[in-house]
């Protein structure tokens, strides 16, 4: 009698739910692969699609590097998964990435996850296509021309110098990553968006917190409901937009009085007016937010990596000091650097390149397949998302000997040609290459001039563990003691 009762109970409570789960997973796998193009003889890339509807998004968000490393070890340089609500193929390796980056408008089109498009806006440079992308890119490139960069240099050096002096004055250690984010935020607010120093001082804490909340939730499930990541990201974005709108209205009033600010956003506004296509207030706010993200988050990541690598390689610091001394003898004034002087710092540029090779701040980019095509023996179905990996492409390339070591001098003689171009892609490639890359290089060179000339430092925790979310950062915030160098 007891057995007759236990058996149905066991079947209902254990066996049936397991069977239903297995059936659900199988149906999900079939549903997820519905986009397979049966007219193409090539198989889908290897991989797995994860849990129903959630796919493998939660594993990526929670595990990041560990999850991606496991996938690469198991499946190689091309594999399928399901992320942010869509079937996705992840790609790495120079030859594979070359096909993706040079296939814009022919094989693929840019398409960031829905959460990114929702938060940053659908009309940003990273989301628009065709003629709209070409005209908007042309306008933004004017804001990062050599002439424009020359105007930004004194402001950048002023902010960097003030930050370095503050770090030197502290008896306690400096948490480098948060400090770099604040420094790069102030620079971006002044140089890119035209905020005055007093405006930044009174609003900095609120703006930084809101911006970090927005960035934290850029890559989230596309569910807009209270307490969701997308909801929090949009709330923070709206606050940032309100402050930017206040500043834009003030800028427009100043322009009517004859004032002509030289910041990047103002140049973008002027350019749009000259072209006969003035931007709406919403478009300007979205452009400003995108400039702020691109000009602050990524440079803070690389600046932190520079401090880390130089703290671990004192011989590189010595060689930088030698270069600075030689250039000073040739007439470069380290107290008032210029574009011309910065361009002569070849080894300094190599240090930045090597940092970007080992720790590219942005791990990759997003595309969508416009049609089914073949990639390295596999089919990429029309409509599937594609993520190309920058960091993994740097890691799997064989053109850099001893690639795990920090050796800036490799870039002094490393040949640059079409055959090696896609082995090193810290700024992406093709039509979508980062428009602010020259701005980033100038900013980072100025940072190195100020840091290396005036300080020496010790990493209090040694080499940190690095994570990605969405840019690369040290989990311990890189506690560092800065001391005066005389």
Consecutive H or E run containing 150: helix 146-169
Contacting residues for 11 by C-beta, under 8 A, at least 6 apart: none
Rg of the Cα atoms in the chain: 25
Angle at 295 between CA 302 and CA 91, to 5 degrees: 65
Element (H, E) at 380: strand 378-380
The two three-digit tokens of residue 443, written as one number: 């900013």
Is 185:296 a contact under the CB 8 Å cutoff? yes
Burial of 2 (0-12, 13-18, 19+ CB in 10 A): exposed
Q: Which positions make up the binding site for heme?
A: 434
Q: With contact defined as beta carbons under 8 Å apart, do 390 and 428 qualify?
A: yes
- Taking the C-alpha atoms of residue 127 and residue 130, their distance in angstroms, rounded to an integer, is 10
Instruction: Enumerate the known binding-site residues.
Output: 434
Q: How far apart, in whole angstroms, are the C-alpha atoms of residue 96 and residue 181? A: 33
Are 73 and 44 within 8 A, CB to CB? no
Contact predicate 146/437, CB 8 Å: no
Length of the chain: 486
- Measure the CA angle with vertex 63, ends 60 and 68; round to 5°: 60
> Is residue 125 a contact partner of residue 290, using CB atoms and an 8 Å limit?
yes
Q: Which two tokens stand for residue 240?
A: 């940032």
């Amino acid at each position: 009698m007891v057995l007759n009762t236990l058996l149905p109970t066991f079947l209902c409570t254990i066996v049936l739910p397991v069977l239903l789960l297995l059936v659900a997973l199988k149906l999900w796998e079939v549903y997820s692969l519905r986009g397979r193009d049966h007219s193409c003889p090539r198989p889908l890339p290897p991989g797995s699609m994860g849990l129903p509807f959630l796919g493998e998004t939660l594993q990526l968000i929670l595990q990041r590097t560990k999850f991606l490393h496991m996938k690469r070890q198991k499946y190689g340089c091309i594999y399928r998964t399901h992320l942010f609500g869509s079937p996705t193929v992840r790609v790495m390796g120079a030859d594979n990435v070359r096909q993706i980056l040079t296939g814009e408008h022919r094989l693929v089109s840019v398409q960031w996850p829905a959460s990114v498009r929702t938060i940053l806006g659908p009309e940003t440079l990273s989301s628009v296509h065709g003629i709209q992308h070409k005209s908007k890119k042309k306008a933004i490139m004017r804001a990062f021309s050599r002439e424009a960069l020359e105007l930004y240099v004194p402001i950048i050096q002023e902010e960097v110098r003030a930050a370095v002096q503050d770090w030197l004055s502290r008896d306690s250690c400096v948490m480098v990553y948060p400090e770099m984010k604040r420094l790069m935020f102030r620079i971006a607010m002044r140089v890119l968006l035209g905020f005055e120093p007093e405006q930044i001082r009174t609003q900095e804490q609120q703006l930084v917190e809101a911006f970090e909340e927005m960035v934290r939730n850029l890559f989230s499930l596309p569910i807009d409901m209270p307490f969701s990541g997308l909801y929090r990201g949009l709330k923070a974005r709206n606050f940032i937009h309100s402050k930017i709108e206040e500043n834009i209205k003030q800028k427009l009033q100043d322009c009517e009085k004859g004032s002509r600010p030289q910041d990047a956003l103002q140049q973008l506004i002027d350019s749009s007016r000259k072209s006969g296509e003035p931007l709406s207030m919403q478009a300007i706010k979205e452009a400003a937010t995108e400039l702020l993200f691109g000009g602050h988050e990524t440079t803070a990541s690389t600046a932190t990596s520079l401090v880390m690598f130089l703290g671990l390689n004192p011989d590189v610091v010595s060689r930088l000091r030698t270069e600075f001394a030689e250039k000073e003898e040739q007439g470069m004034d380290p107290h008032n650097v210029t574009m011309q002087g910065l361009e002569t710092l070849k080894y300094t540029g190599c240090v930045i390149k090597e940092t970007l090779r080992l720790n590219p701040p942005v791990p990759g980019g997003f595309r969508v397949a416009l049609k089914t095509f073949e990639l390295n023996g596999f089919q990429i179905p029309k409509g599937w998302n594609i993520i190309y990996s920058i960091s993994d492409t740097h890691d799997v390339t064989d053109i850099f000997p001893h690639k795990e070591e920090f050796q800036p001098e490799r870039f002094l003689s490393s040949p640059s040609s079409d055959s090696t171009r896609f082995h090193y892609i810290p700024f992406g490639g093709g039509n979508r290459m980062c428009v602010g890359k020259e701005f980033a290089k100038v900013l980072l060179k100025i940072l190195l001039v100020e840091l290396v000339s005036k300080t020496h430092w010790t990493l209090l925790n040694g080499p940190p563990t690095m994570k990605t979310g969405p840019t690369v950062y040290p989990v311990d915030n890189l506690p560092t003691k800065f001391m005066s160098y005389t």
